[in-house]
Amino acid sequence: MSERIISTGRPELRHDVRITDTTLRDGSHAMAHQFTEQQVRDTVRALDQAGVEVIEVTHGDGLGGSSFNYGFSHTDEMTLIAAAREEARQAKIAVLLVPGIGTVEDLKRARDAGADMVRVATHCTEADVSPQHFAAARELGMETVGFLMMAHRTPPENLAKQARIMVDAGCQAPYVTDSAGALLMHEAKARFEALVAEVGDEAWVGYHGHQNMSMGVANSVLAYEAGVRYIDGSLCALGAGSGNSPTEVLAAVFDRLNIDTGLDVLGLLTAAEEVVRPYLHRWPKMDRNAIVQGWAGVYSSFLLHAERAAERYKVPAHEILARCGELGLVGGQEDMIIDVAIQLAAEREQGS
């Protein structure tokens, strides 16, 4: 248990639920990190005009992610953050930071470029690596969110203990982060309730879903009913694996439920159809590979890496992903995908 170092307080909510759009961060995975500055400007402008309160902009693996291991960005992320800040009139600009990939120095540079919020992401059992990053962010005057990634990999009570570590360190909103899109409805509900019971009087609780098992939107509704007030989406579901809960669908569903998001549903539908869809070279979908990720509990960003390895080593991508699930690989172990592909190719050779 970390020592409580700061009293954060919960930011005031402007609406019943606060939707964060991750098109320009999680969507970076589906775009192979090739966002251009113009695409970022156009997308931020459309999201901002539609009332989205938080827009996340970084490499898919967060600050410092542009590398041989994770994939190089088309445009430096600091340039993209600065462009997003110039375009946003009311929205906050958020960045992702994964300790071990991004550093406090990266965070300072992002703040100077115009970032208002940092979302610090750790594996669901490793929140103890995050306190220095939360402390640095609060010193910089940034709003803080904590991602407990691969939330299906630990029981609800343990996930709540990890959320407590983050909140005690300065996190204003710990998230149930379903990185594999693996959580079924009852599993997600139990985690939402556990976090709200543990930290709900001190911090907001959030939910970040993926569509690998087609549960993202349904789980978002369950999240709200359990007291979760920060919920993530992406236009056109653009994100790793089969993508995230579509922002435009979330807006429409919550509107039908008379839950105030402050979002312009028709504006988001236009943003999805006329801004994002034209630059998509890959529309996330629930195909065999993506479904295997949810079924086997595999980190969603492994998808493109597995498909590239499959082509190189002549083994099916879904077999690579299933083996990654068997091995329990987590985010940050993308380099192991090559080892898995080589092993499967050798097994095929021996069996022929």
Q: What does the alpha-carbon distance between residue 253 and residue 248 come to, in Å, rounded to a whole number? A: 9
The reply to whether 29 belongs to the active site is yes
Structure tokens, 299: 């980190």
Q: What does the alpha-carbon distance between residue 297 and residue 167 come to, in Å, rounded to a whole number? A: 26
Q: What does the alpha-carbon distance between residue 58 and residue 70 come to, in Å, rounded to a whole number? A: 13
User: Which residue matches tokens 């008379």?
Assistant: 258
Question: How many other β-carbons are positioned within 10 Å of the β-carbon of residue 351?
Answer: 6
How far, CA to CA in Å, does 50 sit from each of 20, 76, 342?
12, 26, 47
CA angle 295, 223, 2 (to 5 degrees): 90
CA dihedral for 192, 195, 199, 205, sign (positive or negative): negative
At position 71, the amino acid (one-letter code) is G
User: CB burial class (10 A; 0-12, 13-18, 19+) of residue 278?
Assistant: exposed
Residues annotated within the binding site for Mn(2+) are 26, 208, 210
Inter-residue contact 13 to 260 (CB < 8 Å) = no
Structure tokens, 23: 């098109």
Residues annotated within the binding site are 25-26, 179, 208, 210, 299
- Return the SS3 of 89: coil
Structure tokens, 155: 């029981």
Q: What does the alpha-carbon distance between residue 235 and residue 271 come to, in Å, rounded to a whole number? A: 8
Catalytic residue among 15, 29, 281, 318: 29
Active site residues: 29
